[in-house]
Structure formats: C-alpha cells, structure tokens
C-alpha cells in the first residue's frame, strides 16, 4: 500500500539529512510481508532509479536493525544478500534506518502461489541453497543464534508483551505465549548440530529467478545455530502448500530421517518471534 505524501514528509523530517536526501524522490509503499518488528517500505524509483528497501525501527527494533546490518555485511562475503546503501541510528528516542538495494527475482512464496506445479523445482532450489549456506565457516561467524540465546530472547519478549498470539500457527490457535513456552521446555534438552543459519528461512525470505535462488532477505537472526532452526521453518512453509514437499526438500538437502522432535522445538520457538 502506498503511503501518503504527508506521512512520507513526516518520516523524512525525522531522518538524518543525508538519508532523507537519498530517498526523497521515491514513492513509498508499506511492505507487510515478514515478521520484523521494524516498519518496512519498498521505495519505487523514478527515471530508471533502482528500487530500494527502507526499514525503520525504534528502541528494541532499532537494535535489531543494527544487528541486521552487521549480518548483512558478514554474509555478503559468501552469498547474495541486499547491498547496504545507508544506515543511520539516532539516540533520544532510539531510532534506526536501514536502506538496502532491492534484489531481483520473486520470493519462493510468490513463485509457488503463481504456479503450484513448480513445487519440486522450488524445493530442490531451496535445498541446494541451504546446503551452501550451512557449509559456510562456523569458525569465522561472529554471531551466536543458538537456542540458548533465542530462548533468553523469547522469554524477554513474553515478559514485555511483544509476542503476537493471534499470529500463531493453526495448530496452536488459541494458545497463549506462556503455553508455547511450557511446550518448549518439554522439548529440552536439545543437542545442536551447529552451522551458520539464516534464522528465518521462510518462503517469503528467499528470492528465485528461473528456478534458481538468487538471494535471501531478512537476515537479522542469522548466526551459529542448530541446522534445524532453518529446516523447521522451510519445511513448515512447504507443507502448507503441498504435504509431499517437506520430504522432497529434506532428501535433497541430505537428510533421510528428519528429527521430528527438533523440528517441533524450533517451530515452537519461532512462534515467540
């Protein structure tokens, strides 16, 4: 949805001057896809200018954007992620803006919604890309995204009232955040098989073109974690479209028998973010 010129002008007035000048001539559309606590806008260029994405967050969301910036810069050494155009962070009250270039392609969700017959092609492409991501050097990755860290973050989100229970999956419709937390405890302990993970490997965050993955979005949760952090989210997304696709995906990824307990744990954990 396009935002009004009045609202755009108000946002520009709050920005650092250099960033406001860079985006003033764009048309802004609010992007509601994804789970970020930051507001996301697609900036449509004129006269041939390339499209951009702008994320704006306050307080905790501002901290998250700084974390995403660091991850984008590290991951850019290895895989295709949005190029950072500008970043700004101000204090009092805390605000941050992250401006990135738009990547080509369509999300896996868009591809499958337009043509469900491409399910196997998309599942195979996602599996190949995730294998490459999980093969990145763990010893060089400076970001800890393991379940101990994520559980502590989840507990803080519950206590702060930040968990949206209305957005829980159908199997947990009507649950409270505390019920999800209790179910998580029942899945512990978890023995992690650590790799470099995306952290939110959903169909909305992976871009494809002509059957191949050309990049990934929303890497603010990327870091060292159990590989099932990514496997659980993508398998859940594929299953919503075709019940046969998760098995195809995990086989192409290289797993014969997926650990159902780990899948459940990471799906429960994702509900709290």
Q: Where are the domains of the chain?
A: 5-101, 106-271
Evaluate whether 5-101 and 106-271 have a shared fold: no
**pLDDT of res. 136:** 98
CA 241 to chain centre: 19
Which ranges of the chain would DSSP assign to H, the alpha helix?
A: 5-14, 17-23, 60-75, 108-114, 119-134, 147-159, 177-187, 228-241, 245-253, 260-271
Catalytic hit among 37, 64, 200, 230: 200
Tally of CB atoms within 10 A around 255: 15
With b for 16 or more beta-carbon neighbours within 10 A and e for fewer, the 164-192 pattern comes to ebeebeeeeeebebeebbebbeebeebeb
Predicted confidence at residue 35, as pLDDT, reads 55
CB 3 within 8 A of CB 28: yes
Q: Is 164 marked active-site? A: no
Label the pairing between strands 106-107 and 212-216: unpaired
Between CA 138 and CA 227 the distance in angstroms is 12
Task: Give the pLDDT score at 38.
Answer: 86
Identify the DSSP state of 118: G
What is the fold, at CATH topology level, of the domain defined by 5-101? Phosphorylase Kinase; domain 1 (3.30.200)
Beta bridge partner(s), residue 232? none
Q: For residue 2, what pLDDT is reported?
A: 81
Which parts of the chain have pLDDT scores under 50?
A: none
User: What does the pLDDT read at residue 163?
Assistant: 95
* C-beta of residue 191 within 8 angstroms of C-beta of residue 184: no
> pTM score, two decimals?
0.92
CATH entry 3.90.1200.10 includes domain 106-271:
yes
CA angle 199, 142, 208 (to 5 degrees): 40
User: pLDDT value at position 4?
Assistant: 85
């Amino acid at each position: 949805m396009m935002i009004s010129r009045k609202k755009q002008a108000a946002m520009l007035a709050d920005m650092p001057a250099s960033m406001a000048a860079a985006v003033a001539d764009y048309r802004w559309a609010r992007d509601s896809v994804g789970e970020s606590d930051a507001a996301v806008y697609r900036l449509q260029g004129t006269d041939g200018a390339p499209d951009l994405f702008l994320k704006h967050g306050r307080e905790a969301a501002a901290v998250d954007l700084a974390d995403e910036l660091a991850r984008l810069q590290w991951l850019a050494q290895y895989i295709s992620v949005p190029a950072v155009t500008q970043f700004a962070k101000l204090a009092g009250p805390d605000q941050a803006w992250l401006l990135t270039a738009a990547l080509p392609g369509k999300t896996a969700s868009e591809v499958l919604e337009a043509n469900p017959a491409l399910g196997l092609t998309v599942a195979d492409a996602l599996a190949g890309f995730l294998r490459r991501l999980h093969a990145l050097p763990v010893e060089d990755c400076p970001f800890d995204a393991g379940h101990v860290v994520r559980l502590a973050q989840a507990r803080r989100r519950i206590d702060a009232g930040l968990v949206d229970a209305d957005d829980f999956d159908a199997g947990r419709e009507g649950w409270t955040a505390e019920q999800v937390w209790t179910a998580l405890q029942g899945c512990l302990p978890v023995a992690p098989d650590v790799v470099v993970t995306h952290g939110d490997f959903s169909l909305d965050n992976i871009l494809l073109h002509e059957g191949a993955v050309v990049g990934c979005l929303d890497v603010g949760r990327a870091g060292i974690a159990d590989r099932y952090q990514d496997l659980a989210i993508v398998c859940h997304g594929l299953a919503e479209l075709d019940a046969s696709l998760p098995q195809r995906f995990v086989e192409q990824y290289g797993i014969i028998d997926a650990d159902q307990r780990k899948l459940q744990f990471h799906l429960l954990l994702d509900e709290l973010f």
